[in-house]
Amino acid sequence: MPATLNIQGIERFNAINGGGGDDVLTVSNLDATSGVEFIKFVAGDGNDRLTANNTSANIDATGGNGNDILSGSNGNDTLLGDRGNDIISGGNGNDRIIGAESSNLGRGEIDTLIGGAGQDTFVLDNFYDDGNTLIDGDWINFFNGFDGTGDFARILDFKVGEDLIQLSGQRSSYQLKPITNSLQGGSAAQDMGIFKNNGFQPLELIAIVQDAPSGLNLNDTRQFKFI
């Protein structure tokens, strides 16, 4: 049931429901004059939704299991989709956008990540590698020379000079290659895949930078960070 919360003199707001069910948190018009500086949203199981309108408070949100839609504020947010196919959008501000977590490693997940304005970090770490050293059964992709198309992050708005992609391992383990098949999205501009070289198997798809900006470069330390 929709609810209205009238607040006064509150700087931090915690909305925590680790249980199941589809949780909805909408925050509106919490600009600097509201005094609210921080909002925490822990959604748990279910397909949950966070929306922030005209809000400057920084948000820390975790979607938990399920296909969650998390849309951040004008502040600097940390948005974690967790398991499931999540759509995460940072809005204005310098946001950390994380589609997956360390127990499932993003296996079988396709997350959509949108930074919005500001200097955003897309945290891919060691996620979206299916861990299958054999081919995944998709012969068309196999003959195209890549694999692991059942799990990846799709980054819609990477901006050179502003945003950062964080990966784990060695820079030399990764390469960029154009996406040439039905996984293309967005405008007619070329999408670029971020692939991991796992040795014997074809290149493993980790992420797609949709409508890739010119100058996208794995060797640019302002664009890609390796931990």
202 binds Ca ion (CB under 5 A): no
The residue count of the chain comes to 227
Tell which one of 13, 91, 115, 209 touches Ca ion (CB under 5 A): 91
Collapsed DSSP state (helix, strand, coil) of residue 112: strand
- Whole-number minimum distance, CB 184 to Ca ion, in Å? 21
101 binds Ca ion (CB under 5 A): no
Rule CB under 5 A: which of 70-89 touch Ca ion? 72, 77, 81, 86
Pairing of strands 87-89, 69-71: parallel
Q: Between 106 and 202, whose beta carbon lies closer to Ca ion?
A: 106
- Whole-number minimum distance, CB 45 to Ca ion, in Å? 6
Tell which one of 25, 39, 48, 128 touches Ca ion (CB under 5 A): 48
DSSP string, 129-160: ----SS--S-HHHHHHTEE-TTSEEEES---T
Stretch that binds Ca ion, among 1-9, 61-69, 177-185, 213-221 (CB under 5 A): 61-69
93 binds Ca ion (CB under 5 A): yes
193 binds Ca ion (CB under 5 A): no
CA distance 131 to 127: 10
148 binds Ca ion (CB under 5 A): no
Place of tokens 């500001």: 118
> Would you say 146 and 205 are in contact if contact means Cβ atoms under 8 Å apart?
yes
Q: Between 126 and 144, whose beta carbon lies closer to Ca ion?
A: 126
Tell which one of 27, 39, 62, 63 touches Ca ion (CB under 5 A): 63
Of 61, 57, 1, 8, residue with least CA distance to 28: 57
Report the amino acid identity of residue 21: G
Q: How far is the first Cα of the chain from the last one, in angstroms, to the nearest whole number?
A: 43
Binding mask 108-147 for Ca ion (x = CB under 5 A): -x-x------------------------------------
